[in-house]
A and B are shown apart, each in its own frame.
Chain A
Amino acid sequence: MSKMMSGGNEAVIYLLGDAVELTKSSQKGVVGALLDELAGKGAEIFSSEEDMLARGLTGDIILSCVKPVANIFDSLVDETMERADRVISC
């Protein structure tokens, strides 16, 4: 995705379910740094607030580049159907 953005493409990332664990600011792996790097290139990173709260992820333990979203499915559908050229789901 970093290469894709370097090529002039825009990217939006949605984190759902267990993927919201990637928003922890205390993580020691490379993923947190990658999220910061992508956000620095202009990527928007949305995370399900409902799934974060269920896992105790609130406040300042969250990466600052992540935006918690309350009704994330509405946002995801709008992005998918109206703005995105391609959808990559994994």
Chain B
Amino acid sequence: LKTLTILLLGAPYSSQYPEFAVKIADSALKKGFKVNLFLYGDGVHAGMKDQAPKAFYNVENGLKDLVNRGATILACSRCSAARGYVEGEFDDDRQRYPSSRMMDEVRIFSLYGFVDFIKESDKIITLGGV
């Protein structure tokens, strides 16, 4: 089973990168590939709860659908802490930093999570950050 990892650096609603990430991941899952998504920098905002865009693609709904179909989504803990998402110490049982503002489908995790993604990936696509 080949694995695709997407590194998302762009925030939703200020760029199309999160939408592209979801659509690429959606296509990869349909084709039977394993999919990882790592949210880094402003990309962690893609995992915010209760997004309510009026005219744009709803990234939150897209990410939920991906996880329900088997994708793994992590958000960088330092990036998340810097942006006010982290609300306590790492929870060993839930394997994530606690956050009431981050979607349950997105686990706030250390950057080592991305290292593990790289190790298991056949290909990596980076979106945003320029």
Residues of A within 8 A of B (CB): 16-18, 71, 73-74, 76-78, 80-81, 84, 87, 89-90
Contacts and interface: CB of A to CB of B under 8 A. Distances in A.
B27 interface: yes
A84 B123 CA distance: 9
Contacts of A17: 15-17, 20
Interface in B12-40: 15-17, 20, 23-24, 26-28, 30-31, 33
Contacts of B130: 90
Contacts of B127: 89
- The B interface, classified by DSSP as helix, strand, loop or mixed, is mixed
A54 to B, nearest CB: 10
Q: Is the interface of A mostly helix, strand, loop or mixed?
A: helix
Interface size, B (range): 20 to 34
Contacts of B20: 16-17, 73
Contacts of A80: 4, 123, 125
A16 B20 CA distance: 8
A49 to B, nearest CB: 14
> Which of A73, A74, A77, A78 has most chain B Cβ within 10 Å?
A77
A76 B27 contact: yes
Given A89-B126, A90-B130, A77 B4 contact: yes
Interface string B39-62: 000000000000000000000000
A16 to B, nearest CB: 6
